[in-house]
């Protein structure tokens, strides 16, 4: 592996992780509720040392999206708009590298039957974002598939 260039050294990146708000609401929404209800966390990592705590930081950030957080959304739409704007702006810093994670587990894709039987395998039709990881249940619901979309720019190879 070649050494990092001065340009690459210390270049920050963000990790965006979407999360379902239905079960985080107090009281939780019914399993058969319909519609999008999600938010995201966007953590910035500026150096290799910070990256070592990657999983712990993401878990901690996701835990902050709780009943109190959802209550603020429901009571003050302006607060949520500002929150989304602040989180999104972290990704728009010049030179920022972005990595997106989305967990599509428990969406029950394998029980959908449109008249020709349940699916043998489900997948994501389009991959809208580069540098993304989508987590989906396996058919037996006993495992998780990871769909990884990577943009292999020369400057990214050191990540």
Quote the CA–CA distance of 90 and 94 in Å, as a whole number: 10
Res 153: pLDDT: 63
Residue 157 has pLDDT above 60, yes or no: no
CATH number of domain containing 98: 3.30.559.10
Say if 90 falls within a structural domain: yes
Residues 14, 45: contact at Cβ < 8 Å? yes
The pTM score is 0.72
Quote the Cα angle for 148-150-151, to 5°: 165
| Residue with the larger pLDDT of the pair 2 and 80 | 80
Residue 1 has pLDDT above 60, yes or no: no
DSSP calls for 80-102: HHHHHHHHHHGGGSTT-EEEEEE
Say if 4 falls within a structural domain: no
Tokens at 102, concatenated: 């989305």
The H-assigned helical ranges of the chain are 48-51, 54-63, 67-75, 77-89
Say if 25 falls within a structural domain: yes
pLDDT per residue as tens digits for the range 27-79: 888 877 777 788 888 998 887 767 788 889 899 999 999 999 999 999 998 99
Say if 37 falls within a structural domain: yes
Say if 7 falls within a structural domain: no
Res 93: pLDDT: 80
Range of the domain at 143: 13-156
Say if 5 falls within a structural domain: no
Of 109, 158, 96, nearest to 135 by C-alpha is: 109
How many domains does the chain fold into? 1
Res 68: pLDDT: 93
pLDDT per residue as tens digits for the range 95-149: 788 888 888 887 778 888 889 999 888 887 776 678 888 888 888 878 999 888 8
Tokens at 67, concatenated: 């009943």
Res 117: pLDDT: 92
| Residue with the larger pLDDT of the pair 27 and 5 | 27
């Amino acid at each position: 592996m070649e050494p990092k260039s001065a340009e690459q050294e210390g270049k920050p990146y963000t990790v965006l992780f979407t999360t379902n708000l239905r079960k985080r609401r107090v009281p939780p929404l019914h399993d058969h509720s319909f519609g999008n209800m999600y938010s995201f966390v966007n953590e910035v990592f500026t150096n290799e040392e910070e990256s070592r705590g990657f999983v712990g930081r993401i878990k901690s950030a996701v835990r902050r999206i709780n009943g109190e957080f959802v209550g603020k959304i429901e009571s003050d739409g302006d607060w949520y708009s500002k929150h989304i704007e602040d989180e999104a702006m972290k990704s728009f810093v010049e030179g920022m590298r972005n990595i997106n994670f989305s967990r599509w587990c428990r969406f029950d894709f394998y029980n959908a039957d449109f008249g020709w039987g349940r699916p043998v395998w489900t997948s994501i039709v389009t991959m809208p974002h580069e540098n993304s990881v989508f987590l989906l249940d396996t058919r037996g619901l006993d495992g998780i598939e990871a769909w990884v979309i990577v943009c292999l720019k020369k400057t990214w190879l050191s990540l």
